Amino acid sequence: DAPQPQIDKSQWHDILVYVEHSDGRIHPVTLELIGKAHELARVIGQQVNCLMIGDHIEQAADSLLDYGVANVYLYEDARLQYFRADNYTEVFEDCIQRSHPAVVLVGATVSGRSLAPRTAARFRTGLTADCTVLEMRENTDLVQIRPAFGGNIMAQILNTNHRPQFATVRYKVMDPAVKQARIGKVVSCPIDPAKLDSRIEWLKIENKEQEVSISDAEVLVAVGRGVKDEKTLALIETLAQKLHAQMACSRPVVESGRYDVRRQIGLSGRTVKPKLILTFGISGAIQFTAGMKGAEKIIAVNTDPQAPIFDLAHVAVIGDAGQIAENMLKEMEGETVCSAN
């Protein structure tokens, strides 16, 4: 085989972050990407730019300057109001041609994982999925570490002879950016209107009804027979709201009629694989744990120090469900509770 011609890495500079948003409401993964991008850019003495695509989103674009972003490349058009893979790829291409980034970071959301591969393929460059660790080498090569085989294997991936280097990153993996002095500007970018036509036609866009789908939830709070009264349940539900968690339960809670069967975890219920599950008053019968042992982190609260759920838990809290929930809420509201009464 003939040796591959080497690319000129000096032609590719800065880190471009794709801004995920819904009608201008910026998805928090974006701030996490900006935070990571700053860290990476520091190593090579370069800057962080953003790409934002939509319609009537200038204010939101401007708000990103609070996080030390140098340029927010803004593309606005009525045809860009909602994500479509084909015309968004045209815009992404235009932005990359204009800014020549060394690295492009995209949130691993539904649209991000549709757009990033399509754009990476257009540039015939590599894309690493769902990175959990990103590090910058001085020669601007990005070290990307990601899980595969359902998390049983980690792979360290490089893309040394192609630019830009594309990576997607999931929400809640990186630390969010902190506010800093505004140094940047919003750059309104013109684009050939013919490129904004899409083959995909939206027939209906509706706000999602907050349907109970504990199977997809990232955070779950589950209650069992040990949660005996409505007051305790109300406290735990408030806690769940604060954690943006879905409520789930063991079978007796369904049998007592408190919760719908769609919230039941276990053999005769749903299988869940959240990043975090907090259980209150659940003993940990095998039929229950069969449905949740894939959770990344398990925190269990139970009065019984011998409860089988503790064999599985990363954090075992021996205590009363109501007391723990109440004190957590106080703690979250910033009250000192250590020496109350």
Partner 1 sequence: MNIVVCVKQVPATQKVEVDPVTGVLKRDGIETKMNPYDLYAMETALQIRKKTGAKIHVITMGPPAAKAVLQEAFALGADEGWLLTDRKFAGADVLATSYTIASGIRQIDHVDLILCGKQTTDGDTAQVGPEMAEVLGIPHISWVTELIDADDQALIVKQDLNEVEAVARIPYPCLITVEKGIFQPNLPSYKRAKEAADNPIHTLSAAQCRTLDPSRIGLSGSPTQVERIFTPTHDVKTMRLDGPEAESAAKLVAILKEDKMWEEENA
Ligand X SMILES: Cc1cc2nc3c(=O)[nH]c(=O)nc-3n(C[C@H](O)[C@H](O)[C@H](O)COP(=O)(O)OP(=O)(O)OC[C@H]3O[C@@H](n4cnc5c(N)ncnc54)[C@H](O)[C@@H]3O)c2cc1C
Binders of partner 1 in range 71-90 (CB under 8 A) = 82-86, 89
Q: Which of 121, 183, 261, 286 binds partner 1 (CB under 8 A)?
A: 121
Question: What one-letter code names the amino acid at 75?
Answer: Y
Q: Which of 46, 71, 99, 128 binds partner 1 (CB under 8 A)?
A: 128
Distance of closest approach, residue 310 Cβ to ligand X, in angstroms: 10
Q: What are phi and psi of 280, to 5 degrees?
A: -125, 120
Please report, as ranges, the residues that interact with ligand X according to CB under 6 A. Answer: 126-129, 146, 148, 153, 155, 157, 224-226, 250-252, 264-269, 281-283, 285, 287-288, 301-304, 307, 320-321
**Total of chain residues touching partner 1, rule CB under 8 A:** 91
Burial readout 104-137 (b: 16 or more C-beta within 10 A, e: otherwise): bbbbbbebbbbbbbebbeebebbbbbebeebebe
- Build a one-symbol-per-residue string for 282-301: x at contacts with partner 1 by CB under 8 A, - elsewhere: ---------------x-x--
Name which of 171, 175, 177, 189 is nearest 65 in CA terms.
177
- Which tokens is 288 given? 């229950």
Distance of closest approach, residue 38 Cβ to ligand X, in angstroms: 23
Q: CA-based angle 286:213:215, to the nearest 5?
A: 40
Cβ contact 271:245 at 8 Å: no
133 binds partner 1 (CB under 8 A): no
Q: List the end-to-end C-alpha distance of the chain, in Å, as a whole number.
A: 78
What is the footprint of partner 1 within residues 14-73 (CB under 8 A)? 20, 22, 25, 27
What is the footprint of partner 1 within residues 311-340 (CB under 8 A)? 311, 313-320, 323-324, 326-328, 330-332, 334, 337-338, 340
d(CA 168, CA 132): 9
Distance of closest approach, residue 282 Cβ to ligand X, in angstroms: 4
When CB distances are held under 5 to 8 angstroms depending on the partner's kind, the choice from ligand X, partner 1, none that residue 313 binds is partner 1
